[in-house]
Chain A
């Protein structure tokens, strides 16, 4: 149980285009989903927290107009990187929290490369 699926696992896009990353909880309903960014050999940096049906809460320094988060249902959250630039290239990871536990479970991650 507690499986989180993230898609795509990797994507290459041209500078100036937008990219959407999906995060699905497959066998539980996620009251809260988290989006992280991870640089090489560094730990996870929380970007935003999203709750189903409400606006995401962004961490300080994260541009909400650049990283659009939609938590449309209890099993799906999406992160859209708008007008991507090479500096947005990174490893993006989502996690989902079942309402009845303290743990969060992670997706496989998405490697974004902007050329």
Chain B
């Protein structure tokens, strides 16, 4: 059974304090690993798709990396507007998305 766990459950950072969020997964035949951002009361917003170990993608202050067992979302010099819940999901071939529980990030000014 495909599974996704995320850590930490919640993270508080000072503005400018870089950190990383972890997504650990088990899946049979990875089609893709996905990162989404979700603001309170909103639907998830797509950030990245990673397909194979060693792949990296960047967008502004965010950088996602992938290994065979986990993915990291690195946040460099975060700003208060980066505060949100970050969701990780995996998808195996022929299967639906499996979402992790998310990491609630708070960036304090």
Contact size class for B?
20 to 34
Tell me the interface secondary structure of chain B in the complex.
Answer: strand
Is residue B72 contacting chain A, with contact meaning CB distance below 8 A? no
A103 close to B49 (CB less than 8 A): yes
Tell me the interface secondary structure of chain A in the complex.
Answer: strand
Is residue B43 contacting chain A, with contact meaning CB distance below 8 A? yes
Q: How far is the CB of B73 from chain A (nearest CB, A)?
A: 16
Could you say which of A14-22, A72-80, A106-114 contacts chain B? A106-114
Contact size class for A?
20 to 34
Measured CB to CB, the nearest residue on chain B to A101 is B49
Known: A102-B49, A102-B91. A44 touches B99 (CB 8 A): yes
Interface hub of B42, B51, B100 (most chain A Cβ within 10 A): B42
- Cα of A95 to Cα of B51 in the assembled complex, Å: 20
B99 close to A43 (CB less than 8 A): yes
A42 close to B97 (CB less than 8 A): no
Contact with A106, one of B45, B91, B96 (Cβ below 8 angstroms): B45
Residues of B within 8 A of A (CB): 31-32, 34, 36, 41-46, 49, 51, 87, 91, 96-97, 99-102, 104
Q: A43-B100, A43-B101, A106-B45 are in contact. List 11 more A-B contacts (CB 8 A).
A: A34-B96, A34-B97, A44-B87, A46-B97, A95-B43, A103-B32, A103-B46, A105-B46, A106-B43, A107-B43, A109-B43
